Amino acid sequence: MNKIKAIAAAFILITLSGCVAVNSVYKSGTESVGDPYEPKVETESLRFFTSGADGLEKKYRVYNSAFREGSVDWMWYELIVRNLSDKDDGISFKEIWLDGENRIINSTQKEMNLKEKDVYLEYSAGVKTDWKEGYYVLRLFQDSIKIAEKEFKITKIR
């Protein structure tokens, strides 16, 4: 009987300790630690273009939101973000490519370096798959925050 009471008491203490409020964490007693779920960038532009495996210089890119089936091998995106960080920092973000049925085609973790002096940053990346007629979506996340989403379509050759 004493073992049951001891186990019940331990369970209650564990449960109550999980309910206790936690105060904010401070560095040096004066500076608060930033919220890891605050966006560190803000999307200015997200555009699509096609190219080969090596990408394409900016001056040769043709941006669009509709592409012909059979003419797309690699789908690339160009992301331009405004830096919200007030210090040099690095962020990881996730790109998720979805088809029209909301199924994941590709998902990749990427890294971006933020410098305090940078106001805007540009990033581009591509993915190769068997692009068929239909709608597709690219979603970009920093931690669990969606920072960008854009749709494009592949049309039949007529």
Given this model, what pLDDT does residue 24 score?
Answer: 42
The CATH number fitting domain 41-155, selected from 3.40.50.10860, 1.20.1250.20, 2.70.50.60, 3.10.28.10: 2.70.50.60
User: How many Cα neighbours within 13 Å face the side chain of 84?
Assistant: 14
| Contact by Cβ (8 Å): 41, 112 | yes
The mean pLDDT of the chain is 83
- Domain ranges, ordered by start, for the chain: 41-155
Indicate if the pLDDT at residue 75 is higher than 70. yes
Element (H, E) at 4: helix 2-19
* Pick from 115, 112, 114: nearest CA to 123: 112
CA dihedral 112→116→122→126, nearest 10 degrees, is 0
Q: Identify the band that residue 12 occupies on the pLDDT scale cut at 50, 70 and 90.
A: low
Supply angle C-alpha 17, 22, 25, rounded to 5. Answer: 140
Instruction: Write down the pLDDT at residue 76.
Output: 96
- Mean pLDDT of the region 133-146: 92
24 vs 148, higher pLDDT: 148
| Residue 91, pLDDT score | 85
Q: How far apart are CA 68 and CA 66, in angstroms?
A: 7
